[in-house]
Chains A and B, each alone.
Chain A
Amino acid sequence: MQRLLAIAGLTWKAAFRFRLFVVIAVLLLGSVVGLPLLIKDDGTARGCTQILLTYTLSVITVLLGLSTLWLSCGLLARDIEECQIQVVAVKPVARWQIWLGKWLGIMALNAVMLALSGASVYGLLLWRAARLPAEEQKTLRREVLVARGSLKPPTFEREIEAETDRLLEERLKQGASGAVNLREVRREIREQVKARDQLVPPSAIRQWEIHLGLLKSSLRDQPLHLRIKFNAADKSPSGTFIGLWQVGAPRQTQLWRSQPMSLAPDTFHEFEIPPNLFDENGVLTISFANVNNTSLLFPLEDGIEVLYREGGFGLNFARGVGIIFCWMALLAALGLTAASFLSFPVAAFFSLGVLTVALSSGTLANVVSDRTIMGFNAETGVAGHSIADTVIVPAFSGILYVIHLATQTATIPEWFAKLLPAGVRESLSGALPSPARPFSPVDALSTGRSIAWTHLGLAFVQIVLLLGGIIGLIGTSIFNRRELATAQGTQ
Chain B
Amino acid sequence: MNSRLKKFLLVALAAALLSGVAQVQNRMNRDREALGLTRVQPLENAPPVLAFTTVALGGFRGLISNLLWMRATELQDEDKFFEIVQLADWITKLEPHYTQVWSFEAWNMGWNISVKFKSYADRWRWLRRAIELLRDEALRYNPDDILLYRELAWIFQDKMGKNTDDASLYYKRQWAEEMQQIFQKKTPDFDELIHPRTDAAEARARLLREKFKLDPAFMKEVDERYGPLEWRLPEAHAIYWAALGTQIAKDNPTRVNQNDLITLRRVIYQSMLLSFQRGRLELSPLGFEFGPNLDIIPNVNDAYEQNFAEDDIYKGDIQKAHRNFLRQAVYFLYANDRLAEAAKWFRYLGEKYPDKRILDDDPNSLPGNLTLDQYAVTRVQEDVLDTSRDRMKAAIEGLLSNSYRSLIQDEDERAAGYKNLARKVYESYKSHTPQGRAEAMGLEPFEVIDKSVLNRLLDPDRGIPPEIRALLRTKLRLPAEPAPGKSEAAPAPAGTAK
Partner of B82, one of A42, A239, A269: A42
Inter-subunit contact B436/A46 (CB<8 Å): no
B163 to chain A, nearest CB (A): 9
A44 to B83, CA, bound (A): 12
Inter-subunit contact A239/B165 (CB<8 Å): yes
* Residues of chain B within 8 A of A237, CB atoms compared: 164
A46 to B115, CA, bound (A): 18
Inter-subunit contact A262/B129 (CB<8 Å): no
* Residues of chain B within 8 A of A239, CB atoms compared: 111-112, 115, 165
* Residues of chain A within 8 A of B435, CB atoms compared: 242, 260, 291
Inter-subunit contact B167/A51 (CB<8 Å): no
Inter-subunit contact B436/A42 (CB<8 Å): no
Inter-subunit contact A267/B116 (CB<8 Å): yes
Inter-subunit contact B167/A262 (CB<8 Å): yes
> Cβ of B118 < 8 Å from any Cβ of A?
yes
Closest to B123 in A: A262
A198 to B165, CA, bound (A): 27
Inter-subunit contact A42/B84 (CB<8 Å): yes
Interface string of A12-49 (1 = CB under 8 A from B): 00000000000000000000000000011111101110
Inter-subunit contact B79/A267 (CB<8 Å): yes
Which of B89, B118, B440 counts the most A-chain CB atoms under 10 A from its CB? B118
Inter-subunit contact B79/A44 (CB<8 Å): no
A42 to chain B, nearest CB (A): 5
Inter-subunit contact A261/B118 (CB<8 Å): yes
Closest to A47 in B: B82
* Residues of chain B within 8 A of A271, CB atoms compared: 118
A260 to B434, CA, bound (A): 11
> Cβ of B262 < 8 Å from any Cβ of A?
no
B164 to chain A, nearest CB (A): 5
Chain B: residues with Cβ within 8 Å of the partner, total of: 30
Inter-subunit contact A238/B118 (CB<8 Å): no
Closest to B128 in A: A43
Inter-subunit contact B116/A242 (CB<8 Å): no
Partner of B118, one of A43, A54, A263: A263
> Cβ of A268 < 8 Å from any Cβ of B?
yes
B53 to chain A, nearest CB (A): 13
Partner of A260, one of B84, B85, B112, B436: B436
A447 to chain B, nearest CB (A): 8
Chain A: residues with Cβ within 8 Å of the partner, total of: 29
* Residues of chain A within 8 A of B116, CB atoms compared: 264, 267
> Cβ of A390 < 8 Å from any Cβ of B?
no
Inter-subunit contact B166/A41 (CB<8 Å): no
> Cβ of A50 < 8 Å from any Cβ of B?
yes
> Cβ of A240 < 8 Å from any Cβ of B?
yes
> Cβ of A232 < 8 Å from any Cβ of B?
no
Interface string of B428-449 (1 = CB under 8 A from A): 0000001111101000000000
Partner of A43, one of B83, B115, B125, B438: B125
* A240/B122 contact (C-beta < 8 A), A41-B82, A51-B86 known: no
A465 to chain B, nearest CB (A): 31
* Residues of chain A within 8 A of B165, CB atoms compared: 238-240
A50 to B81, CA, bound (A): 10
Closest to B165 in A: A238
* Residues of chain B within 8 A of A189, CB atoms compared: none
A45 to chain B, nearest CB (A): 11
Closest to B76 in A: A267
> Cβ of A244 < 8 Å from any Cβ of B?
yes
Which residues of B (91-150) have their CB < 8 Å from a CB of A? 111-112, 115-118, 120, 122, 125-126, 129
B34 to chain A, nearest CB (A): 36
Inter-subunit contact B115/A51 (CB<8 Å): no
A50 to B166, CA, bound (A): 28
* Residues of chain B within 8 A of A261, CB atoms compared: 118
A240 to B116, CA, bound (A): 8
* A41/B86 contact (C-beta < 8 A), A262-B167, A267-B79 known: yes
Partner of A46, one of B82, B112, B164: B82
* Residues of chain A within 8 A of B83, CB atoms compared: 51, 54
Closest to A270 in B: B118
* Residues of chain A within 8 A of B81, CB atoms compared: 42, 47
Inter-subunit contact B82/A51 (CB<8 Å): yes
A54 to B81, CA, bound (A): 12
Inter-subunit contact B125/A240 (CB<8 Å): no
A46 to B80, CA, bound (A): 12
* Residues of chain A within 8 A of B125, CB atoms compared: 42-44
A48 to B79, CA, bound (A): 16
Closest to B49 in A: A38
* Residues of chain B within 8 A of A40, CB atoms compared: 85-86, 89
Interface string of B63-89 (1 = CB under 8 A from A): 000000000000000011111111001
Closest to A292 in B: B436
Inter-subunit contact B436/A291 (CB<8 Å): yes
Which residues of A (217-269) have their CB < 8 Å from a CB of B? 237-240, 242, 244, 260-264, 267-269
Name 25 interchain pairs, CB-CB below 8 A, sorted by A.
A39-B86, A40-B85, A41-B82, A42-B82, A42-B84, A43-B85, A47-B82, A48-B82, A51-B83, A51-B86, A54-B82, A54-B83, A237-B164, A239-B111, A239-B115, A242-B437, A261-B118, A262-B118, A262-B120, A263-B118, A264-B116, A264-B118, A267-B79, A269-B118, A271-B118
Closest 5 CB pairs of A and B: A242-B436, A260-B436, A262-B166, A47-B82, A239-B115
